[in-house]
Amino acid sequence: MSDVLAALPYAVAAWVLLAGCYGIATSRNFIHIIVCLSLVQSSTYLLLLLVGWSGHATAPVFGDVQPGVRVVDPVVQALTLTDIVVGAAVTALLLALTIQLAKRLGTIDPDRIRSLEEDLEE
Partner 1 sequence: MSALEIVVVMLVTAPLLVGALVAGGAVTAMGRRLADPVVLLVAVAVTVAAGWTAGAVGDGTRVVWPGGWTPVHGEPIGVALVIDRPAALLVCLVGLLTVAALTYSWHFLADTGTPYVVLVVVFLGACAGFALAGDVFDAFVWFELMGVTAYALTGMRIEEHRSVHGALTFGIVNTVGASLSLSGVALLYARTGELNLAAIGRSLRGSPPDHLVVVSCALLLTGVLVKMALVPFHFWTADAEAVAPTPVCVLLSGAMVTVGAFAVARWWWVVFDGSVPESAIRHALVGFGTVTAVVGAVMCASQRHLKRLLAYSTVAHSGVIACGIGLLSGPGIAAAGLYAVGHACTKGALFLVTGLLLNRFETLDEHELYRRGRGMWLAGTTFVVGGLALAGLPPFGTWAGKAAFSTALAGAHAGWLEVVLLLVSALTGGSVLRAGLRIFAGLGEEPDPGPDTHEQPEGDHPPRRDVLRVLVPPVVLMCVGLWLALGPGVAASAASAGATVVDQQQYSAAVLGGAHLALPAGHVEPLWSVTTVALGLLGAALATGFALASLWPSRLPGPLSVVRRPWHSTQRVLHAVHRAHVGDYVSWVLVGFAVLGATLLLS
Partner 2 sequence: MTRERASRLLFAVGAAGAAVLFALALGGLPHVGDVPHPYGARAVSSAVGRHTANAISSVNFDQRALDTLGEEFVLFGAAVAALLLLRRMRDEDDRAGVGQAGPGDVWSAVNLAGFALLAPTVLVGLYVVAHGAISPGGGFQGGAVLATGLHLAYLAGDYGVLERLRPLAVFDVAEAVGAAGFVLLGVSGLFVGDPFLANWLPTGTLGSLTSAGMVELFNVAVGMEVASALILLLSKFLEQALLVHERDHE
Which residues form the interface with partner 1 (CB under 8 A)? 13, 17, 21, 24-27, 30, 33-34, 37, 40-41, 43-44, 47-48, 51, 75-76, 79, 82-83, 86, 89-90, 93-94, 97-98, 100-101, 104-105, 110-111, 113-114, 117-118, 120-122
Q: Do residues 43 and 87 touch, judged by C-beta distance below 8 A?
A: no
Whole-number Å distance between alpha carbons of 6 and 27: 33
Q: Coil, helix or strand for 109?
A: coil
Q: Is the dihedral of CA 14, 48, 51, 71 positive or negative?
A: negative
β-partners of residue 58 are: 71
Q: Is 97 in the site for partner 2 (CB under 8 A)?
A: yes
Show the binding pattern over residues 20-49: x = contacts partner 2 (CB under 8 A), - = does not: -xx--xx-----------------------
Verify binding: residue 106, partner 2, rule CB under 8 A: no
**Cα dihedral sign for 93, 99, 100, 105?**
positive
Contact between 117 and partner 2 per CB under 8 A: no
Q: Tell me which of 40, 71, 113, 116 binds partner 2, using CB under 8 A.
A: 71
